[in-house]
Amino acid sequence: MRAVTEHLTKAGIKVLASRRMKLDLAVTRMDEANLCESADLVIAIGGDGTMLHASRLARESGTPILGINRGRLGFLADVTPDEMIASVEQVLNGNYTRDTRMLLEARLIGDDGRESIAYALNDVVLKRRETGRMVDFSTRVDGAFVNTHSGDGLIVATPTGSTAYSLSCGGPIISPQLDAVVVVPVCPHTLTDRPLVIPARQSIEVELLERDGTTASITVDGRPMGRIRPIDRLQISAAEQRITLVHPPSYDFFEILRSKLFWGRDSRKRQH
CA 255/CA 27 separation, integer angstroms = 35
| Active site residues per annotation | 48
**Beta strand extents in 82-195 (DSSP E only):** 97-109, 115-120, 123-128, 135-141, 144-151, 153-157, 180-186
Could you give the angle at the alpha carbon of 56 between the alpha carbons of 6 and 142, nearest 5°? 150
Enter the DSSP assignment of 198: E
Q: Are 49 and 77 in contact (CB under 8 A)?
A: no
CA 65/CA 81 separation, integer angstroms = 16
Q: Are 123 and 166 in contact (CB under 8 A)?
A: yes
**For residue 15, which of 92, 93, 94 has the smallest C-alpha distance?**
92
